[in-house]
Amino acid sequence: QVQLVESGGGLVKPGGSLRLSCAASGFIFSDYYMSWIRQAPGKGLEWVSYITINGRSIHYADSVKGRFTISRDNARNSFYLQMNSLRAEDSAVYYCARHLGPGGDLPFDYWGQGTLVTVSS
């Protein structure tokens, strides 16, 4: 069955960096667009970024543009989120999610369990 497993979250100081990973299994990873979505404690969902099948097209939310970088390794069935210049407002549970197919404007049909990022001094 489809599984998405995030890792890499933790406590980091403001201005620091963190790299999140999402390991996929149970489907042909290279056939799907993938996204990162976050949820601050007690708040709603906020889309962060998505990457196309071959990684040639990437899109970011304005709130993270220039600080976060999404990438993928189809050989490893994994994709990543490099987060730099972290701020307190980046504190959230970060979910990786699969798009319903090879399209940017498709819903997210599978989600990981999330990994918590806390930015605090």
Partner 1 sequence: SFDLTQPPSTSVSPGQTARITCSGDNLGEKYVCWYQQKPGQSPVLVIYEDRKRPSGIPERFSGSNSGNTATLTIGGTQAMDEADYYCQAWDSNAAVFGGGTKLSVL
Residue pair 117/68 in contact by the 8 Å Cβ criterion: no
d(CA 120, CA 101) in angstroms, rounded, equals 37
107 binds partner 1 (CB under 8 A): yes
Least distance in angstroms from the C-beta of 39 to partner 1: 9
Choose one: 10-18, 25-33, 77-85, 97-105; the region binding partner 1 (CB under 8 A).
97-105
Is position 79 an interface residue for partner 1 (rule: CB under 8 A)? no
DSSP 3-state assignment of 74? Answer: helix
* 59 binds partner 1, rule: CB under 8 A: yes
Kindly state whether residue 27 participates in binding partner 1, applying the rule CB under 8 A.
no
Q: Which is nearer to partner 1, 15 or 113 (CB)?
A: 113
Specify the 3-state DSSP secondary structure of 31: helix
Among 25, 30, 85, 113, binds partner 1 (CB under 8 A): 113
| Long-range contacts from 44-50, C-beta under 8 angstroms, 24+ separation | 46/92, 48/81, 48/94, 49/81, 50/99, 50/104
The one-letter amino acid code at 60 reads: Y
Pick the stretch among 14-22, 66-74, 81-89, 109-117 that binds partner 1 (CB under 8 A).
Answer: 109-117
Pairing of strands 115-119, 10-12: parallel
Where does this chain bind partner 1 (CB under 8 A)?
35, 37, 44-47, 50, 59, 61, 95, 100, 104-105, 107-109, 111-114
